[in-house]
Structure 1
Amino acid sequence: MSLAPIAFFAYKRPEHTKQSLESLAQNEGAESSELFIFCDAPKKPEDEEAVTQVREVVRSKQWCGQVHIIERQQNLGLANSIIQGVTELCSKYGKVIVLEDDLILSPFFLEYMNKALEIYEKESKVIHVSGYIFPVKLTSDNDAIFLPFTTSWGWATWQRAWQHFDPEMNGYKQIKANKKQKYKFDLNGSFNYFKMLESQIAGKIDSWAIRWYLSTFMLDGLTLFPNKSLVKNIGFDGSGTHCGDSSSFDGEMTQDKILSMPKSLKLNDKEVNIVFKYLRSLNQPPSLLQRIKNKLVRFF
C-alpha cells in the first residue's frame, strides 16, 4: 500500500499540538509515513511566544518516519494555510491526510485512512474520507458508511477530487435560486449549512470547510465515515481561534480497527436518517426542564 502524506496544521497551541502529535506517533504506520507540519506565523505580537513554543514542540521529536516542518514567515490564517498545504501535497502525491492541532487520534486512524484512500482511489463518486463521526448509534453491517457531506476533523482526499475545490463558491447562486437544492444542501433541513455559506460570502467567517463542502455538493459526491469515531477534538476549551468552549459533536473515540468498508457506492437511507435526526436535534430549543437545570448549574 502506498501511504498518503500527512498534512498537520498548527498555530499557537503548544499543549494541544503536543498531544495531537503524540497520538499520531502512536498510530500503526506512523513510522513509515511522511509528515508535513505547517506552522503558521503569528497574527499579532502577543501570539509570538505561543507560536514559538509550538515550533519547539514540532521540532522536539521524530513524530513519523519522515518529518518536514514548514514555518510560515507571514500569517496565512487557517483557511489559506490548509488550502495551500492540501493543494501542494495533492499536486505532488495525488492524495493527502489532513489534521489540525486539536485532534487526538485512535491508534488505527492512519490504517483506516490509507485503506480507504486505496479502496476508493478510482471511484470518482467518493470525494472525501472522514475520520470522525457524530455520537450516533449506527446499525450498518460494515464498519463504515457513506454520507452526502464532508467534515473537517481528520480527513483525506485525492487530487482527482481536490482539483474541483472552488474557493470562489460559484455554486452559491445556483443553490440560492433553487429551494430543493438549498434544502438538500442543508441535509434535508437538518443543519443550516447554507447560513454558513452566506456568512462566508459576506466575509463574516473565513472557512475552507464550507467551501469544500459546497465543491463536493456540486459534484453530488460521497464521504466515507467510520461507524465509530477515530478522532476526538480537544479544542473546545476556548483556546482556538475558531472554536467555542463546548461542543455537541464530541463523543467517545473507538479503539477498534475499521475492518469492513461498503462495496456499494450508495447511501443507506436508514443510516443517513439516523445522522440527520441527530443533527436536527441540535437545532431544537431546550425544554423547560433543561432550562431550569441550566439555571441551577449556573447558580451552584
Structure 2
Amino acid sequence: MQHLAPIALFVYNRPKHTERTLKFLQQNELAAESRLFIFSDGPKTPSDQEKVQELRDFLKTVDGFRSVEIIERKENMGLANSIIAGVSRLVKDYGQIIVFEDDLISSPHTLTYFNEALNLYRKEEKVMHIGAYMYPLKDKQLPESFFYRAATSWGWATWERAWQHFEPNIDVLLKQFDAPKRNAFSIEKTMNFWKQMQDFKKGRNNSWAIRWYASIFLKGGLTLNPAQSLVNNIGHDGSGIHSGINDIYNVVINPKPVKAFPTEIKENPEAYEAIKYFLSNRKGSLWQRIKRLIKEKLG
C-alpha cells in the first residue's frame, strides 16, 4: 500500500461522542500507521466553553495513531467552514484525505477500505469521492462496492485532484441546473437534495456536503460506496447540529472487509434503483410516520 491518507476528525463540544468515535477508529487495522489531525472548533457561546474545554483536555490523551496533531480554533468557524478549511489544508499537504466527524463509529476495516480505494482510483478523474456509509438497502444481490452519483458525508475520502473542483459559491452552482439536472440530482425527487441547495441559498442551512455533492454532480463525477455500511452515525440522539432523532438511517456495520471494487467506471444501475427504492419508502406508512413524530416529540 502506498502512503496512507491522513485522517481529519472534526469535533466541537461532544466529548462522549468523540471518545466513542476515536475508540472505534483506534481499533482499525491501519490506525497505528495513520496520521490523525483533530480540528477542534472554538466555542460559539460562553456556555459552550466548558464542553469545548472538556473535549480538548480529553484530546490531549489520544494515542494509537502514527501521529496526532490537534488544531484548536480560537473562534467558532462552524462545521462547514471548519471542514472546508481542514480538508483544503490536508489535501494540499498530502494529496488525499479521509474525513470523520465526531459521531461516527467505524468497522475495523474502514480505513483499509478508504486507502485501498484511494490507491485504486487515484488517476480516475471521474471518481471524485469515496463514501463509507450506505443506507440499509434491501437488495442483497449488489456487489460489495459500487459507483453512484451522490456523495454521502458520514465518513468519506477524496483526493486533491477532485477537491479542487469544490465550488463553495451557491449561486455559481444553482445557475448550472436545469429541470432534467434537478431531477437527476434529487434521485428523481426521492431525496430533498435540491431543496437543501435552495435552503442553503436562503440561509436555512450551512451545509458543505450539499455543495460538495453538487460540485461532483456538475462535473459528471462518481462516488464509490459499500453495499453494506462501514460506519454508523451515533449523533441522532438530538445532540448534533443537524441531527433529527430518527432511526431511518441506522445501520448494521459490515463486520467483513470490502474485497471487491468495480472495474467499470460508471454508475451501477441496480444500486441506483435500490437506493431510489429506499429513499422513496424510507419514511414508511402514514401510521409509522405518526408514531415516529410522537416518539420525537416525547424524546
- Which runs of 4 or more aligned residues in structure 1 lie more than 2 Å from their structure 2 counterparts after TM superposition? 137-142, 289-299
| Distance change (3 Å), C-alpha of 1:260 and 1:174 | same
Q: Any idea what the Cα deviations from partners look like across 1:131-169, whole Å, max 9, x if unmatched?
A: 100000344563101111101000000000000000003
| Distance change (3 Å), C-alpha of 1:283 and 1:192 | farther
Q: Which amino acid aligns with 1:275?
A: I
Per-residue deviation, 1:207:
0.7
2:62 and 2:68 in contact (8 A); partners too: no
> Aligned partners of 1:229, 1:23: CA distance in 2, in Å?
15
Give the aligned partner of residue 174 of structure 1.
176
- The answer to whether 1:150 aligns with 2:148 is no
1:197 and 1:210 in contact (8 A); partners too: yes
Q: Which amino acid aligns with 1:243?
A: S
> Aligned partners of 2:268, 2:5: CA distance in 1, in Å?
28
Give the aligned partner of residue 226 of structure 1.
226
Q: TM-score, normalised by structure 2?
A: 0.94
Give the aligned partner of residue 191 of structure 1.
191
Q: Which amino acid aligns with 2:60?
A: R
| Distance change (3 Å), C-alpha of 1:120 and 1:199 | same
1:106 and 1:253 in contact (8 A); partners too: yes
1:30 and 1:63 in contact (8 A); partners too: yes
Q: Which amino acid aligns with 1:39?
A: S
> Aligned partners of 2:204, 2:103: CA distance in 1, in Å?
23
> Aligned partners of 2:32, 2:293: CA distance in 1, in Å?
50
Give the aligned partner of residue 42 of structure 1.
43
Paired residues for 1:67-82 under 5 Å = 67-82=68-83
SS at structure 2 position matched to 1:171 = helix
Give the aligned partner of residue 241 of structure 1.
241
| Distance change (3 Å), C-alpha of 1:30 and 1:204 | same
2:246 and 2:292 in contact (8 A); partners too: no
Give the aligned partner of residue 266 of structure 2.
266
SS at structure 1 position matched to 2:176 = helix
> Aligned partners of 1:141, 1:27: CA distance in 2, in Å?
25
1:112 and 1:257 in contact (8 A); partners too: yes
**Percent of aligned pairs with the same amino acid:** 43
Q: Any idea what the Cα deviations from partners look like across 1:80-113, whole Å, max 9, x if unmatched?
A: 0000000000011100000000000100000000
Q: Any idea what the Cα deviations from partners look like across 1:218-237, whole Å, max 9, x if unmatched?
A: 11111100111010110011
> Aligned partners of 1:294, 1:67: CA distance in 2, in Å?
41
> Aligned partners of 1:198, 1:292: CA distance in 2, in Å?
27
Q: Any idea what the Cα deviations from partners look like across 1:226-267, whole Å, max 9, x if unmatched?
A: 111010110011111221222411111111110110101112
Q: Which amino acid aligns with 1:106?
A: S
Structure 1 residues not aligned, in runs of 5+:
none
2:238 and 2:245 in contact (8 A); partners too: yes
SS at structure 2 position matched to 1:167 = coil
- What is the number of residues matched between the two proteins? 295
Structure 2 residues not aligned, in runs of 5+:
none
Q: Any idea what the Cα deviations from partners look like across 1:156-211, whole Å, max 9, x if unmatched?
A: 00000000000003121221xx2111101111222121100001011111110011
- The answer to whether 1:11 aligns with 2:20 is no
> Aligned partners of 1:208, 1:143: CA distance in 2, in Å?
28
Q: Which amino acid aligns with 1:3?
A: L
> Aligned partners of 1:208, 1:262: CA distance in 2, in Å?
28
